[in-house]
Each structure stands twice: as structure tokens, then as C-alpha cells.
Structure 1
Amino acid sequence: MTRTRRHPLPRRSPGHRRTRITVTALLLLTAAACQQADPQPDDKSLTGTVYIGVKTDQPGFSQHREHNDRGFEVDLASYLGEEIGFAPKFHDVVSAEREQELVNKSLDMIIATYSITPKRDDRVDFVGPYFITKQGFLVRADYRGIRNEKDVAGKVVCTVEGSTSAIAQLPGGTTPHTESDYSTCVRKLQQKDVDAVFTDEALLYGYVEQYRNSKVPLEVVRDVSFGSINRYGIGLPEGRPENCARLREALRGYLTEEWASDVKAQLPALVAAYPGDWENRFRPDPEDVDTYSSCKP
């Protein structure tokens, strides 16, 4: 580059130099303050199309078949959409990837038998619960190898990566086998590759209904349970308090208005297993939504 100025630049006065330093310092302080400020909430309004992560292979709760989505959680999502004013668009999600999908904000919410736990609540927000269930064992209907808790020892038990069942303490000698989805576990059970499928009892009754008339019918072992009581919640990315509050209020209405009829329609095997008592076992109290949701009234 040709230099056109050959003479030295005129010297600035000391006062001018001090002024420049003062302005620079102010700019640096302002930038630092902006970096330390709390991030603004990332509230994507629940209008238009809302992308919801669901399971596509869990009969009774959420299943994609013949180009249609059906199940209790699909009914729940439809109710919330009508109440709040959005159109659900469903996307398949596996258990092990649910948190990351929300952390990345790839999805607007997840309704996928997603249990509320303190560890998960550190990374995402929850609205719920909308279902309560203990954990249990699914076996072939002709299998008598598990009749009580002691019988679980020494058995090969299939569950899913990223689920609460995968970290439950089972009796010593039990051989855990994990898959990415429950349909694979159920297929291995029918083929006698595993002795039982271990996960939430409510979820297992969906498979009981699906295979009721098959060559290999299934059943849930009664009164045998390990692990925690699970409370299903709607998962949200952190920092969307307005969405959380709107969903919380809509869910309270759902529990009193539509919950029972949707369970009867989508999970008949569960209702038949506990005649006269299924609501007490599986339906949350609407007041629990205020207790367990990340956003408080």
C-alpha cells in the first residue's frame, strides 16, 4: 500500500488522550455488564404449529399407525391445542434423547411418558403430572417364572436406555438388557429372548391390549414392583415461563374434564385390571400440577 502521508502526525493534547481512554473504559464496562446480565426468557408463543416429541411405538399412549397418531398422549396434546390455540405436529423421540431435544430447542415440548425427576428438572422444565404409575413387569401369559419380588433374581429383564427403569435397583443376579425402545423389548419377550419387560405399569397395559388376541398374549405381573413412582410431565425448554403457565392451567382442566374418558378409550386393559380403583391409582390430583410443575402459580 502507498503511503501518502510522509510527515509526522500532529501530537494530541494530554486532555484529548484522557478523553479517549475514558470513553474506551466506559465501552468495556458496558460490554462486560451486558455479558453478565441475566438472559431474557426465550418464550416462543404457543400459536400456529407447535412441534411435539412423542413416542410412535407405545400402544395406548402414543402410536403412529396407518398414517395416523393415536393414544392417550395424542388426545392430551389435542386437548391442549384446542384450549390454548395451537396445532400439534408430532415428531418421534426416543427416551434417551428427550432432554437433549429440549435443551437444543429442536422441539417445543415433549409428551412421551416423560417422568418428572429432579435430575431432569435441572435441564428442562416440566408441567404435570398428567399420569401416575408404579413400575412393573410384563411377561408372556403362559410364563410363571415371576410371581413375587424374589423371583426376579436371576431373570433376564429388558428395559429402555434413558428411562427411569434403566436405573432402578433390581435384585442381585438379575441380568438387565437395554434397548432403544419398548417395542424391541416386547418382541424379544415374545421370542423368549428375555424373561420380562420392566417399565411403568401403565405403559405395559398398552401392550397387553395390543397383543390380547395374538399367538403370544402378554400380561402384567400383579403386585411386583421395583423403582420409583413415576409422574408423567410435559417437558419444555427452560426459559419459557408464559408457555409453562398456560399449559399448567390447561392441564388442570384436562384432569377434571377429559382424563377419565381418554383413559377408558385408549387403555381399556388398565381399566379392566383395576375395576373401581383405576382412577385412584393412576389419576393425579389437579392440585399436584401446582406442586410438581416448574412454574408456580
Structure 2
Amino acid sequence: MTHAPRRPRSRRPSPHRYARIAAAALLSLTAAACGGGEKSPTGTVYIGGKNDQPGFNLHSQHTDRGFEVDLAAYLGERLGFTPRFHDVVSAEREQELDGESPASELVIATYSITPQRDEQVDFVGPYFVTKQGFLVREDYRDIRSEKDVEGKVVCTVAGSTSAIAQLPADTTPHIEIDYSTCVRKLQQGDVDAVFTDEALLYGYVEQQKSSKVPLKVVPDVSFGTINRYGVGLREGRPEFCAELREALRKYLTKEWASDVKVQLPALVAAYPGDWENRFRPDPQDLDVYSSCKG
């Protein structure tokens, strides 16, 4: 799926962002006029995503590629809209869906479903399940067990579930705005490890396998919680929520495995014969974790 080139990230809203907000507002008004504003929107739907996460969503050469891009394309095909991604950082995902005129209709950005977030936005999911782990340089041998994390400098991202995980007391957290910055600092030797969701880490392993500083995920070392990725949407749209849920349920049984094989080959290689059991949610879990019930 090809989109227009993106601007570098900016903390200040640009005229283009205001244009997206206006477009989303117009879309909401049109939907409201046709049936209460709850059903699936049509036409172009703006989606907040992370465009620097290989395997899930990487923007390169004017093209978005990754598992979440494939997921959005499937949902759009099933529900009749055309997805268009724009960049959002972890700490600003709730803001993307905030207010009467949100910047995005959906957020698909390795967005873990948590009770705290569910108070601010609605979720449909999960579409991926993963524990948290550590990414290190391939030649690094100093982390082999949980106790070895003590005394290390560990990079993670503001607004993520990893940033609030309970690491050993003398671990030094290094907080960045995105994981690509953490990975760069890891390869430069500025930090000892990157800490986030294991599935996400394998995307960087694949991306950097031919670089001068290849990377690996530390086996069997994890802190924090099990994370369940969901599609975020603004609260109060139960019909749209239910339509997304049923489309996602079909995706889990029809397209999920083939998309993971294509987009996350390092993850599949790390768990031969067991990767689906580890990372694919049970389709019935959507009834438990989605905000829309029944």
C-alpha cells in the first residue's frame, strides 16, 4: 500500500494535522447523518501508527509495510474503507482519538490493551499476544538471566507498558521517544539493552541481521506483563466496534498466520512449531478484551 511521503515528527501540530482533524470531523458528521455515527466509516480512514517499527509498520520509500499494515488493509477491505497511516508516538496514542474531532479514526500501533487505557479509549482485540523481553547486540553475553539485568542501562519508550514495568532497583532506565532511537543507541554502545515487547524486538532482529552490529533477543529473560495488542477507537461507537471485532475475528483464523510468516520471519524462526501458540490470540479472546460486548 503506497502513501504520500511523511514529514519528520513534530511535537507541534502542523497545518496538515489540522487538515486531518477537519477531514475526520467531516467523516464523523457524514456518518452521523447516515445512521448515528456508529457504523464503519467509508472512504479514506486515517489511522495512527508507528512508522519506525520493522515487522509491524515501517515507512520506507513512500510505502508502509508490516503486519499492522496488512491488518489494516484486511479490515478496510472487509468494512469498506481505505486505510491511510500517519505517524504517532507511544505517548500520544490516546490523544489521537480524543475529543469530538479526533486526528485518527483508529490507532493500530502495537497498542496494548490495559484497564487504564480502556478508561480513555475503546479497544477491539487482541490481534497479537506477546511477553516483554530484551534486545542486545549479538556479541553481548552479560544478560543471561533475570538477575543479570541488575546494574544495566536499559532503553525503552515513554508512554509504553515497558516504561512502567518493574525492573531491578539498580537498573538504569533510559527513556526515548521511539524504539528506533533505542536501537540506534544500542548499536552505538550507549545502552546495554532495549526492553519492550518480544514480538516487536524480532522485527529489529530481522531488520539489522546484515548490519555491522546485528542484534538478538535474550532467550527466556522477561519482566513486566503479557501484552495484548488492540485496535484503538474513540469511545461511544458500539456498532463500529462490533463490526471491527467480527472482522478481526475472521482475520485471526484466515490471514493472521500467513501475514506473520511474511512480516516477522525472525519471530517464526525463533519458535519453530510453537510461534502460533505463543503469539496468536484465541479468537474468543475478542469477546473478553474488546470494549464492545455481546
TM interval, shorter chain, is: 0.7 to 0.9
What's the counterpart of residue 61 of structure 1?
Answer: 56
The question of 1:111 aligning with 2:99 is answered no
RMSD over aligned Cα atoms: 1.1
Are the equivalent residues in 1 in contact too, given 2:125–2:228 (CA < 8 A)?
Answer: yes
For residue 79 of structure 1, give the secondary structure of its aligned residue in structure 2: helix
Unaligned runs of 5+ in 1: 1-39
What's the counterpart of residue 36 of structure 1?
Answer: none
TM-score (ref. length: structure 1): 0.85
1:62-118 Cα shifts (integer Å, max 9, x gaps): 010000000000000000000111000111000000011111321100000000000
Are the equivalent residues in 2 in contact too, given 1:41–1:240 (CA < 8 A)?
Answer: no
Q: 1:41 Cα shift? A: 6.7
Deviates more, 1:98-107 or 1:239-248: 98-107
Mapped to 2, the partners of 1:280 and 1:130 lie a distance apart of: 13
Which entry has the higher C-alpha Rg, 1 or 2? Answer: 1
Q: 1:43 Cα shift? A: 3.0
What's the counterpart of residue 183 of structure 2?
Answer: 186
What's the counterpart of residue 291 of structure 2?
Answer: 294
1:172-212 Cα shifts (integer Å, max 9, x gaps): 20000000000000000000000000000000000000000
Q: 1:164 to 1:152 in 2, by over 3 A?
A: same
Aligned with 2:262 (options 262, 265, 270)? 265
What's the counterpart of residue 205 of structure 1?
Answer: 202
1:16-46 Cα shifts (integer Å, max 9, x gaps): xxxxxxxxxxxxxxxxxxxxxxxx9753742
The question of 1:47 aligning with 2:42 is answered yes
TM-score (ref. length: structure 2): 0.86
Aligned with 1:72 (options 59, 67, 79)? 67
Report the number of matched residues: 258
Mapped to 1, the partners of 2:192 and 2:44 lie a distance apart of: 42
Aligned-partner residue type, residue 216 of structure 1:
V
The question of 1:83 aligning with 2:83 is answered no
Are the equivalent residues in 1 in contact too, given 2:57–2:67 (CA < 8 A)?
Answer: yes
Are the equivalent residues in 1 in contact too, given 2:40–2:243 (CA < 8 A)?
Answer: no
Mapped to 1, the partners of 2:160 and 2:40 lie a distance apart of: 29
The question of 1:132 aligning with 2:110 is answered no
Aligned with 1:166 (options 163, 166, 169)? 163
Aligned-partner residue type, residue 148 of structure 1:
S
What's the counterpart of residue 238 of structure 1?
Answer: 235
What's the counterpart of residue 247 of structure 2?
Answer: 250
Unaligned runs of 5+ in 2: 1-34
Are the equivalent residues in 2 in contact too, given 1:41–1:239 (CA < 8 A)?
Answer: no
Mapped to 1, the partners of 2:240 and 2:38 lie a distance apart of: 7
